[in-house]
Amino acid sequence: MVLPGPSYLIKMRQTIFLLLVLTTITLSLACKTADKALSDRDYDKAYKLSMKALKKEKSVKENKRILEKSLTEIIKREELEIAELSNSKDLEKWDKALNVNLDLQEKIEQATTYLGNIFSHEYYQLEANYTELRDELSAIYFNTGVEDLEKAIAENDKLLAQDAYHHFVTSENYGNEDERLDSLKAASLDAGLLIYVVDANRNFDYDWEINRRFDNIESYSNEFRSIYYNQNASDVDCSIEIAFGTLAVGYDERSDSRTFRESVVVGTETQVDTAGNQTQVNVYETVEGRVFTVERVKILDWEVEVDVRAHTNNCVLRSDRFRAAVRSTIEEYRLEGDQRAIPARYQRGNTDEFEDTDDMAEDLIEALYRDVVGSLF
């Protein structure tokens, strides 16, 4: 067995010493970074950095001190914000207060791993405050829903009944377990159901295509509205007539011309150098050709008028008008001059044809359908 020499042992000691120094510096820097954040009153950063260091078991004693101080300041700050939000008349701020409360509870829970139950009093107080505020919010939305539903039924106000439904759902989300909630939500949906009857005054040539596409408008029915396409219904709130105008087919064109030049070989000639040697070389000539382009455009234009008639005060839809156009373009070329100068892409035959009118009309029907349903629903 060969023992390491003195030089090897010295190098090993130097390496170990260097690693210890680097580790100490790293721990010191991490601690100083958290401490600096605390000194700068950036308590959130101090909390985060000290927690991160403690998870890695770095400078435990010092980081516990930083964590406790930063969390103490965070609790003071957040409790003030919670109180301010909770005292507002705006219920949305109450909801924000609940979120701030939960976030603070989570911070305390995470810190407990390293600090024990130092903040247990604050934690249990937050829990109690959260439950109290949540229950109060739940009761407010529940009572508002009951009031709105009673008024909606008395006045046949379907939109108010929909509001009542949303209030009941919100109350339920805040933890309300009242056994009446299911029946109240069902009553709200029943009282808030809007009835729409849609009819398409169709273009004779495309009656089937229009009917096939607009029949899908019934798929926009939901818990708050029932849509009937080309059907009769009772207790109608809105009648919607979709009237297609005359399909306009037009044409347009514009002309252009471009001149091309190309150097081409037209023969050869003999050249003799100073030594008397003969060489055959190409003879070039610049040729010119012109391309006349005619761009022809086929344009289909269609207008639809949406006429909304209100049968009750619950109909809040509005009449509108939509217009859409589609184009089909072809290019035709006429060549003059020397065709050797003209690029190959222009020398193909004029085989392009306009898109079929029926296909273009179907594209228009689709575009107008999207416009109509987007406006109505």
pLDDT for position 206? 92
Check if the beta carbon of residue 191 is closer than 8 Å to that of residue 162: no
User: What backbone phi and psi angles, to 5 degrees, belong to 144?
Assistant: -65, -40
* Cα separation values, 81 from 8, 94, 134, 136, 139, Å: 63, 11, 16, 18, 23
pLDDT tens for 97-151 read 999 999 999 999 999 999 999 999 999 999 999 999 999 999 999 999 999 999 9
Check if the beta carbon of residue 235 is closer than 8 Å to that of residue 193: no
Please give the Cα distance from 163 to 161 (Å, whole number): 5
Please give the Cα distance from 325 to 201 (Å, whole number): 20
Q: What is the DSSP string of 47-114?
A: HHHHHHHHHTT-SHHHHHHHHHHHHHHHHHHHHHHHHHHHTSS-HHHHHHHHHHHHHHHHHHHHHHHH
Global confidence as pTM? 0.74
Q: Which residue has the tokens 């000691």?
A: 13
Closest C-alpha among 353, 301, 293 to residue 327: 301
pLDDT tens for 83-110 read 999 999 999 999 999 999 999 999 999 9
CB under 8 Å to 5, separation ≥6 — which residues? none
pLDDT tens for 239-274 read 999 999 999 999 999 999 999 999 988 888 888 888
Please give the Cα distance from 153 to 81 (Å, whole number): 40
pLDDT at 221 over 80: yes
Residue 42: strand, helix, or coil: coil
pLDDT at 9 over 70: no
pLDDT for position 267? 87
pLDDT for position 25? 45
Element (H, E) at 326: strand 320-337
Q: pLDDT category, 33, cuts 50, 70, 90?
A: confident
Task: Compute the average pLDDT of residues 225-246.
Answer: 95
pLDDT for position 346? 84
